[in-house]
Structure formats: structure tokens, C-alpha cells
Amino acid sequence: MRGEQIEERSLTYAQALNEALREEMQRDARVILLGEDIGVWGGGGVFGVTKGLLEEFGAERVRDTPISEAGFTGAGLGAALAGLRPVVEFMYVDFSMLAMDQICNQAAKIRWMLGGDVSVPLVIRAQQGAGRGNGPQHSQSLEAWYAHTPGLKVVMPSTPYDAKGLLKTAIRDDNPVVFLEHKLLYGTRGPVPKEDYTIPFGQAAIVRQGRHVTCVALSYQVHKALEAADVLAEEGIELEIIDPRTLVPYDRETVARSIMKTGRLLVTHQAPERAGFAAEVVMCALEDAFDYFDAPPLRVCGKNVPIPYSLTLEAAAIPQTEDLVRAAKRLVEGVPLGGRRS
């Protein structure tokens, strides 16, 4: 799918998600959408992802909800248990805290509690992340919360291609899926095939090949890592960039193979460093490839502070391209590029 067909057209991240929703609703009449302002409001939600779907599928399948995250998430869960395949949208992931019981204490556990006799085909879509000056209550990255909850699958696409393919996989899954979209990605553009395709969960993407440093980047940080790789290449340092795409399930094998080649690991995400998913990446890598490390792994993550409203302070609180460049250089200082694994 990443060959000639993929170059036929280019879509934005938001358009790719919209197309995935439309195609899945056309394919399966059980797919319904629930969320605030996703239908009647002209743009199709705050970020336009559901634009045009109300007109095509009607108010029975594209349902604007009251401002009650606990209420409409519970309704989505009930619909999933009754045989539908709901896609519930949170306007901001921060608001998902109001439905943590429905998500983490109910949806994640019901199938296990009933011995697998029921399915919970519920997708929870939410945008997250900082970079727009939206302040501390509209800019968080909560992937570690959900990855820590057994029974949930957690998806974080970074490109339009991955957004469409992974959302289709999520909708067809019989388990609850938390689908997280960084708000700065909606306007990014990339190749997306016209043909139907899905992307398996638990299959990382090697975004850029390199010999000297493995960089595992989540969501929007993939783009920051690519910028850093261009800067580092001018100094002869090759960054190998891996996008996990899904955190649960997590593809630890691809990361381990990369470290066996590079001997170094750098992990980056916007969420706060403390107890962030980067720690899980590092621990898995140490368990899988300890003897191959030439330097201690490094994390380049958000500061352990609420996201500031000021754009200047916000930029200081989340990892930037230059932070990744400095970290990669630090990793190669101890062992020259001509060292035992170059």
C-alpha cells in the first residue's frame, strides 16, 4: 500500500479520518457516531472531522449529544453491548476525565468479567496535545493513563495514511479502543490510497532509517524527530525514527532490532516525563536488548508542569526539535560513530 497507489492523491489528517468514518459507515450500518457538535454544527466538530456525515447518514447515526461526557460515553458503551459499533468523540481529551468510570472501570472490564461472552466494539476518539496556546485544561496528553488500563487498546497515528488505516481497524475491533489524535496534526497532509486498507495494531513503522541513534517518537513528535534528523544528518549523525503507532499493543520487537543496530535509544513524547509512556519504552528495550546499549537511554518529554497558556512558556514546557538534537548528540558523545556497532 505504500507503493505507486499511495501517490495518487494527498489528504489532510482530518480528511483521512473523515473518509475512514464515511467508508466504515457505508460498509456497516451498525457504525454510529456520538459527540458534542459533531453533526448540526456546520464544520463537523471543532476540527471538522465529521463534516458532511450528518447529511449523508442522518441524525439516527450521527448524534449530537448534550454536554455530558459521562452520559454519552455510557450511551456509547450500552450501544456497543447491544450490537452497534459506536464511535464516541471527545472534543478535547481533557474532558474524558469526566467519563473515566465508563471507560476504565466499565468498557475496559466488562468482556473480562463476563468471560468473553460479550464484545465491546467501542471507539473513543479524542484530540490531545499542546502547541496552540489552549491552556492547561485543553492541552494535555493522556495516553499513559489509558495504556495503564488493561482491557483498552490505545492508538496514536501521526500521519494521514496511518490515521485512516488505524481508525478502520479500530472500528472493526471487538474491543474498546482509545484513538488519540494530536490537534496539530489535523492540517498536515500526506498520501492516502483510494483503495480500502487497514493497518494491524501492534505494528510499528520505521519512519526513517539510520545507523547511530534509535528515536522512538509518539504522535506529533514524529514530525519533530524528522526535523531533528535533518539537522543531525548535516553533522553525520543518522537518526532512525520509529513510530509505534499503537501503544497497546506495543511493538517492542521492532524497537529492539533497531537498538541492536544503533546501540542508542532516545524516546520523545509531549506528555510529562514522569510516569510517561517513554519509561515503558525504555524498560522494554532494556529487557530486550540490554547487551547492545552503548549509552544509557534518554527521554525527551514534556516538563512535569501543567501546560502554560502563554505560547512562549508552552514551547518551553514541551519538547522541541533542538531538544532532540541536543539529546542525540549527547548519546553519541560517549561512543564515537565509528564505535563497535557503527
Distance of alpha carbon 225 from alpha carbon 218, whole angstroms? 10
The number of residues in the chain equals 342
Query: What is the maximum alpha-carbon separation in the chain?
Result: 63
Calculate ∠ Cα 98-302-186, nearest 5°: 65
Neighbours of 98 (CB within 10 A): 15
24, 138, 143, 240: which one is catalytic?
A: 138
Burial (CB < 10 A; 0-12, 13-18, 19+), residue 67, is exposed
24, 36, 69, 240: which one is catalytic?
A: 69
- Of 140, 169, 130, 335, the C-alpha closest to 237 is 335
Distance of alpha carbon 242 from alpha carbon 239, whole angstroms? 10
Distance of alpha carbon 87 from alpha carbon 290, whole angstroms? 41
Q: Which cell goes with 339?
A: 564505535
- Of 168, 155, 182, 154, the C-alpha closest to 85 is 168
Q: Which cell goes with 222?
A: 514524529
Contact 305, 271 (CB under 8 A): no
Contact 88, 100 (CB under 8 A): no
Distance of alpha carbon 180 from alpha carbon 199, whole angstroms? 16
Taking the CA of residue 17 as centre, how many other CA atoms within 13 Å lie in the half-sphere pointing to its CB? 31
Distance of alpha carbon 233 from alpha carbon 210, whole angstroms? 10
Position 100: which residue type? M
Determine whether 287 is an active site residue. Answer: no
The three-class DSSP label of residue 327 is helix
What's phi and psi for 111, nearest 5 deg? -65, -35
Neighbours of 179 (CB within 10 A): 24
Determine whether 138 is an active site residue. Answer: yes
- Which residues are catalytically annotated? 69, 138
